[in-house]
Amino acid sequence: MSTARPRAIGSAPWAFSFIGAALILAATLTFTGGVGAGQILSTALTFATMYVIVGLGQMFVITAGPGNVDLSIPATIALAGTVSMVVMGESDARIALGLASALGVGVAVGCFNYALIRLLSIPPIIATLSASFLVQSTAISYGRGLRVRPPEGFAAFATGRILGVPYLAIATLILSALMAVLLHRTVYGRSVSAIGQNSRAAGLAGIRVDRVRFLTYVLSAALAGLCGAVLSGFSGGSSLNMGEEYLLASIAVVVVGGSSVSGGRSNVAGLWGASLFLYLLVTMLNTFGVGAGLRLLLTGIIIVAIITLAGGRRGERA
C-alpha cells in the first residue's frame, strides 16, 4: 500500500514535463541567486499560453492516430493574425468580430487540409505542409506592408496581469478545461481516442471515422487561428513570421507533455508542463549566456532526451 502512491505519481503522463520545468527553473534561479523569480514565472506563463493554445489542437490531431499531424499551424497563425488585426481596425468595438474572423480563417484552413487528405488521398504530413505554403503565400499577398496595431482594449488584455498572473494564462486555463471535457467526456473526444487506438475497430463499432478526423483538423486550425489573433494582440500587431517557432513546438509540447505520438492516448495537463518546460529551457540557456547556435542545439538535444525518456516509460506501462 505504501509504495503504490509514489509509483502512481511517477507514472502520471504529465510528470516528466512538470518535473523538467521545475528542475530548469531551479537551475536558473540558482544561477541568478533567486533574482527575478517572479518576473521569470510570470513571463513563462504568458508565453506558455501560446504553446498551449496550438498544442491543444495538435494534441487532438496526433491522438487521432499514427501519421496524423498538422504542419500548417505557423502559416495559419500568420494569416489569421493579419486578418484579425485588419478586421478589428484598432477599434475595441470590433474585437469580437476580429476574433471570429481569426477562427473563420482557421476553419477554412482546416477544411482545406482535410480536403487534401481525404479527396486526394495525400498523407497528412504532406497535405498540411503543402497547405501551409499556400496559406503562407496568401498571408504574404494579403498582409504585405501591413502592420495594423491591435485595439487598446485587446492589447491591454493580452499583456495585462492580475497579482502577477497574466490574463491570458487564466483564459487559456479555462480553454484547457473545456478541451479536457471535450476530450474525455464527450462522444467526439472518445471517438478521437478510439480511432487513434484502432481506426478499423472504431469504424466497425459505428464511429464515423472520416467525420471525426475532419472535425479534428478543423479544430486544430481554428485554435491556430485563435493563437494568431492573441499573439498579434500581445506583440502589438501581426507579422508574417510570427508563427515560425510553433511548427515543431506544437508537436513537442504534445509529446513531452505525455501524449502518445502513436495516437490513442493524450492528456491536457501535460501541455502546460511541457510549454513551461520549453520556455524555461530557453530562458535558462539565455541566462547562462549560451550563444544562439549552441542554444538551438542544446534545446533540441534536451527535448529529444525528454521525449525518449517519457516514451520509454509509457512503453513499459503498455
Assigned domain for 4 exists: no
Separation CA 62–CA 261 (nearest Å): 6
Assigned domain for 162 exists: yes
Measured CA distances, 86 to 89, 223, 224 (Å)? 5, 19, 17
Assigned domain for 284 exists: yes
> What pLDDT digit, counting tens, does each position of 26-73 carry?
888 888 777 777 788 888 888 899 999 999 999 999 999 888 999 999
The type of residue at 160 is G
Q: Which of 265, 226, 255, 241 shows the shortest CA–CA distance to 109?
A: 226
> What pLDDT digit, counting tens, does each position of 161-186 carry?
988 889 999 999 999 999 999 999 99
Assigned domain for 285 exists: yes
Assigned domain for 16 exists: no
- What's residue 4's pLDDT? 44
- What's residue 242's pLDDT? 87
* 3-class secondary-structure state, position 166: strand
Separation CA 223–CA 102 (nearest Å): 9
> What pLDDT digit, counting tens, does each position of 202-241 carry?
988 889 999 999 999 999 999 999 999 999 999 888 888 8
- What's residue 191's pLDDT? 94
Q: What letter would DSSP give residue 121?
A: -
Assigned domain for 118 exists: yes
Instruction: Decide: 30 and 40 in contact? Cβ < 8 Å.
Output: no
Instruction: Decide: 189 and 204 in contact? Cβ < 8 Å.
Output: no
Do you know the residue count of the chain?
A: 318
Assigned domain for 108 exists: yes
**In percent, how much of the chain has pLDDT > 70?**
89
Kindly report the average pLDDT of the chain as a whole number. Answer: 85
Instruction: Decide: 257 and 14 in contact? Cβ < 8 Å.
Output: yes
Assigned domain for 18 exists: no
CB hemisphere CA count around 265 (13 angstroms): 15
Tally of structural domains, the chain: 1
Q: Which three cell numbers stand for residue 113?
A: 487540409
Domain containing 273 equals: 39-310
Q: Which three cell numbers stand for residue 66?
A: 499514427
Separation CA 198–CA 205 (nearest Å): 11
CATH number at residue 94: 1.10.3470
* 3-class secondary-structure state, position 161: strand
Q: Tell me: pLDDT of 147 over 50.
A: yes
Predicted TM-score of the model (pTM) = 0.88
